[in-house]
């Protein structure tokens, strides 16, 4: 199974900003604007926070933003709050896998 | 209110079969692209299958030939038939609604609470 590369864990202080990276290849992130980001709190279902690289669903705070450069996508969370803690997953369509592929997830701790 | 409620998960022996259901409310299942995504205990997310509004279905290589996605329009319910189950199929199975149709199906904006499938002897 193809997996996008994410840092396993990151931590930052409340009020600060953090950027989570997601690295793929020319078969996925590099070719398609189909990058999504999900937030998953402990014991809960994932929640979509960014889709199509930089679009926020209705109800998602403007503190969440997305971008892409080449084969790497990024999720930036500004003004970190304790409720931002959780696991963050990126995803993209892959024509090599002819499927949606996910990153391994990044555990975010807000100290 | 848009809501997805999965059911059908349980403990089952390797080689067995199971059908998962996803009751849809707030929209018609036939009008949206719908997915199944799973998550093994302590692991990341894995896309399993998609059913287009037009009826075409696609699967991850890991489940191709063993799982079948379908829907019952009259019951507004999505299904996932699991056959020849293996230990590695143990996971929470989530039903999801795609953000949009056509090339907007890659993201899921509505998720159910999930149903647990445990494959073990």
pLDDT for A99 equals 87
Give the Cα separation of B60 and B62 in Å (integer). Answer: 5
Ranges assigned E (strand) in B28-84: 34-39, 45-51, 57-59, 67-72, 77-82
Q: What does the radius of gyration of chain B's CA atoms come to, in whole angstroms?
A: 13
The string over A41-59, giving b where at least 16 C-beta atoms fall within 10 Å of a residue's C-beta and e elsewhere, is eeeebbbbbbbbbebbbee
* pLDDT over threshold 60, residue A2: no
| Cβ within 8 Å, pair B46-A1 | yes
Round the average pLDDT of chain A to a whole number and report it: 96
Q: How far is CA A108 from CA A11, A55, A66, B85, B93, in A?
A: 6, 21, 16, 34, 24
- Residue B27 touches chain A, beta carbons under 8 Å: no
**Around A96, how many Cα atoms within 13 Å sit in the side-chain half-sphere?**
14
Chain B residues within 8 A of A46 when measuring between CB atoms: 37, 45, 94, 108, 111
Residues of chain B falling short of pLDDT 70: none
pLDDT given at position A40:
98
Cβ distance of A51 and B47 shorter than 8 Å:
no
Rounded Cα distance, A59 and A47, in Å:
11
Q: Verify whether the Cβ–Cβ distance A98 to B58 is below 8 Å.
A: yes
- pLDDT confidence of residue B12: 98
């Amino acid at each position: 199974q193809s997996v996008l590369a994410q840092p396993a864990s990151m931590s930052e202080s409340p009020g600060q900003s953090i950027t989570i990276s997601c690295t793929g290849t020319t078969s996925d992130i590099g070719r398609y604007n189909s990058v999504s980001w999900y937030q998953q709190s402990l014991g809960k279902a994932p929640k979509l926070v960014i889709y199509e690289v930089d679009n926020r669903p209705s109800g998602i705070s403007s503190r969440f933003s997305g971008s892409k450069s080449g084969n790497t996508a990024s999720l930036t969370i500004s003004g970190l709050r304790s409720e931002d803690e959780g696991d963050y997953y990126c995803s993209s369509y892959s024509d090599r896998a002819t499927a949606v592929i996910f990153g391994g997830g990044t555990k975010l701790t807000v100290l | 209110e848009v809501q997805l409620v999965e059911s059908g998960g349980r403990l089952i022996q390797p080689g067995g079969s199971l059908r998962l259901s996803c009751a849809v409310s707030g929209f018609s299942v036939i009008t949206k692209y719908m997915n199944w995504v799973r998550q093994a205990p302590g692991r990341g997310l894995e896309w399993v299958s998609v059913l287009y509004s037009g009826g075409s279905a696609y699967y991850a290589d890991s489940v191709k030939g063993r799982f079948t996605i379908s829907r019952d329009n009259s019951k507004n319910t999505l299904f996932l038939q699991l056959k020849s189950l293996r230990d590695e199929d143990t996971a929470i199975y989530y039903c999801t609604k795609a953000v949009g149709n056509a090339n907007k199906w890659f993201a899921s904006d509505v998720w159910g609470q999930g149903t647990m499938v445990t494959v073990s002897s």
